[in-house]
C-alpha cells in the first residue's frame, strides 16, 4: 500500500495516530527505524538536569509538543529504547484496558524520573487519552494552537511547563504554536529543545522567540530521524532540500531523514521566578 504524502512533503501517518492504543504506531515506526526520540533522550535528560540546577526546582515539568502516545515520556521514564518499546507493544495481548493496566503497573515499579512531571500536547485525542490513562503523561492538552489561542483551561496547564521538548512537530506547527505556549505564563518563559527536520526552516521560530526574550542556538551535528517511507517521499524531500541549497550527500540521499537540534532559553530578565513558578 502506497504511503500518502502530507502537504509538507513528508509521508503521512495520520492513520496510526487515531488508534485506541499504540501497537500499530510502534509497529510502523519500527519498520522505518524511527530513532529520533531515542537520540533525543540524552539531550532531554541533560536539559532536565541543567534546569533543575539553574532554577533550583526539584520537580520540573516537561511539556512534549506532538507527543502522540507519550513516546518521549516512555523513553525517559522507563529509561528504555525504541526497539524495546516496539517489542513491548508487539508482544502485547488483550484489549486496550489490558494494555493500559500493564503500562500503569510497569510505570509503578520502573519510573526512573518520579520527580519530573510530564505533559503532552497533540492533535490526536486517542493518543493523548492512552498516554494519560497509563500515567505516562500527568496531564494533556488536546489543541491546535496554529488556528487559535488556548482556552483558559489549556493555558493553565501549559503555564506549568518548565521545559518544552519536541522531536518532530516543527513543520506541522510554526512560530504561532510555540509563541502561544511560551507566553502561557504571564511572567516567565520555559526552556525549549526542538529537533527539527532539515527541510523545515527554524529561522521564523527563532525570530519570534527572540522577540519574546529568547536566545536560540543550533547544537552541532545532525540526528537521524527515520528511513524514508517511500521513494516518492525521498524524492520530494530531496527536491525541497535542493531548492534550499542544502547538501544531502551522505545524508538524505542515502535514505534517511535528518534533523538538527535547536536550544532556546530565555535571557536572564525572562528567567523563571521559582516562587511564581511552583
Q: What is the pTM of this model?
A: 0.92
On the question of pLDDT at 139 being above 80, the answer is yes
pLDDT of amino acid 277: 46
Q: CA angle, 224 as apex, 27 and 240 as ends, to 5°?
A: 100
User: Residue by residue, what is the 3-state secondary structure of the chain?
Assistant: CCCCECCCCCECCHHHHCCCCCHHHHHHHHHCCCCHHHHHHHHHHHHHHHHHHHHCCCCCEEEEECCCCCHHHHHHHCCCCHHHHHHHHHCCCCCHHHHHHHHHHHHHHHCCCCCCEEEEEECCHHHHHHHHHHCCCCEEEECCCCCCCCCHHHHHHHCCCCEEEECCCECCECHHHHHHHHCCCCCCCCEEEEEEECCCCCHHHHHHHHHCCEEEEECCCCEEEEECCCHHHHHHHHHHHHHCCCCCCCCHHHCEEEEEEEEEEECHHHCCCHHHHC
On the question of pLDDT at 82 being above 50, the answer is yes
pLDDT of amino acid 58: 87
Mean pLDDT value across the chain: 92
Q: State the Rg of the chain over Cα.
A: 18
pLDDT of amino acid 266: 96
Paired sense of beta strands 191-197 and 214-218, if any? unpaired
Largest CA distance in the chain: 54
pLDDT of amino acid 179: 97
Encode pLDDT of 184-211 as tens digits.
999 999 999 999 999 999 999 999 999 9
Using pLDDT thresholds of 50, 70 and 90, give the confidence band for residue 273: very low
Per-residue pLDDT, averaged over 50-74, amounts to 94
pLDDT of amino acid 68: 95
Q: How many CB atoms are located within 10 Å of the residue 268 CB?
A: 7
Alpha carbons 108 and 207: distance in angstroms, whole number: 42
Encode pLDDT of 100-131 as tens digits.
999 999 999 999 999 999 999 999 999 999 99
> Residue 191 phi/psi, 5° resolution?
-70, 160
pLDDT above 70 covers a percentage of the chain that reads 92
Give the number of C-alpha atoms closer than 13 A to the C-alpha of residue 142, restricted to the C-beta side: 11
Q: How many CB atoms are located within 10 Å of the residue 218 CB?
A: 12
Q: Are 34 and 26 in contact (CB under 8 A)?
A: no
Amino acid at each position: 500500500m502506497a504511503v500518502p504524502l502530507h502537504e509538507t512533503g513528508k509521508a503521512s501517518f495520520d492513520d496510526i495516530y487515531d488508534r485506541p492504543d499504540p501497537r500499530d504506531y510502534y509497529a510502523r515506526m519500527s519498520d522505518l527505524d524511527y530513532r529520533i526520540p531515542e537520540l533525543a533522550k540524552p539531550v532531554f535528560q541533560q536539559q532536565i538536569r541543567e534546569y533543575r540546577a539553574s532554577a533550583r526546582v526539584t520537580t520540573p515539568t516537561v511539556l512534549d509538543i506532538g507527543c502522540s502516545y507519550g513516546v518521549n515520556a516512555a523513553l525517559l521514564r522507563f529509561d528504555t529504547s525504541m526497539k524495546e518499546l516496539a517489542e513491548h507493544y508487539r508482544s502485547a495481548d488483550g484489549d486496550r484496558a489490558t494494555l493500559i493496566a500493564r503500562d500503569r503497573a510497569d510505570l509503578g515499579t520502573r519510573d526512573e524520573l518520579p520527580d519530573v512531571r510530564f505533559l503532552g500536547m497533540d492533535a490526536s485525542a486517542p493518543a493523548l487519552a492512552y498516554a494519560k490513562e497509563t500515567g505516562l503523561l500527568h496531564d494533556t492538552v488536546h489543541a491546535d494552537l496554529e488556528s487559535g489561542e488556548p482556552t483558559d483551561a489549556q493555558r493553565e496547564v501549559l503555564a506549568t511547563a518548565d521545559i518544552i521538548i519536541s522531536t518532530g512537530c516543527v513543520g506541522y506547527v510554526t512560530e504561532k504554536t510555540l509563541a502561544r505556549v511560551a507566553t502561557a505564563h504571564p511572567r516567565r518563559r520555559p526552556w525549549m529543545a526542538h529537533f527539527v527536520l532539515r527541510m523545515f526552516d527554524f529561522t521564523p521560530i527563532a525570530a519570534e522567540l527572540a522577540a519574546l526574550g529568547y536566545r536560540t542556538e543550533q547544537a552541532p551535528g545532525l540526528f537521524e530521524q527515520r528511513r524514508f517511507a517511500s521513494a516518492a517521499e525521498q524524492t520530494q524531500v530531496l527536491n525541497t532540500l535542493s531548492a534550499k541549497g542544502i547538501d544531502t550527500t551522505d545524508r538524505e540521499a542515502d535514505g534517511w531523514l535528518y534533523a538538527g537540534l535547536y536550544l532556546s532559553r530565555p535571557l536572564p530578565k525572562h528567567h523563571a521566578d521559582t516562587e511564581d513558578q511552583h
